[in-house]
């Protein structure tokens, strides 16, 4: 998988659970978390308002509140419920043989 130069190794699968865990990859603050079904997701975790660290915010299901000013984001879609223009970018992530791989090209969420 990594041979095309696009995918970056993040770490071992067992290192990432349901908690929103921040990693800095190519200068981007990316959060990794597992949904209720155990599927791994990757999304920006810098609030679009003033770059508050969303991994420090309160979380309820897929919703997370920025600890700085209270903007609310849906991690499942990247949508900001407080300011619709402030969508977070989501990224493809894969697990193979216990290793997590990340594609730094944002998904086209329209």
pLDDT tens digits, one per residue of 12-53: 999 998 899 999 988 889 999 999 899 999 999 999 999 999
Band the pLDDT of 72: cuts 50, 70, 90: very high
* CA neighbor of 97 nearest in space, from 35, 28, 19, 13: 13
Q: Does domain 2-105 have CATH number 2.102.10.10?
A: yes
Angle, CA of 87, 90 and 92, to the nearest 5°:
165
Report the C-alpha dihedral over residues 28, 32, 35, 40, rounded to 10 degrees.
100
Contacts of 31 (CB under 8 A, 6+ apart): 20, 21, 22, 23, 42, 43, 44, 45, 54, 55, 75
The pTM for the full model equals 0.87
Question: Are β-strands 90-96 and 21-25 bridged in parallel, bridged antiparallel, or unpaired?
Answer: unpaired
Task: Centre a 10 Å sphere on the Cβ of residue 71 and count the other Cβ atoms it contains.
Answer: 21
């Amino acid at each position: 998988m990594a041979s095309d130069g696009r995918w970056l190794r993040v770490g071992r699968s067992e290192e990432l659970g349901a908690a929103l865990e921040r990693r800095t990859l190519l200068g981007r603050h990316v959060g990794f978390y597992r949904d209720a079904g155990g599927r791994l997701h990757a999304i920006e975790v810098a609030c679009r308002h003033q770059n508050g660290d969303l991994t420090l915010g309160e979380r309820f299901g897929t919703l997370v509140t920025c600890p700085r000013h209270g903007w609310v984001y849906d991690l499942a879609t990247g949508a900001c419920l407080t300011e619709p223009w402030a969508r977070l970018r989501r990224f493809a992530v894969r697990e193979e043989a216990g290793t997590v791989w990340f594609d730094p090209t944002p998904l086209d969420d329209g």
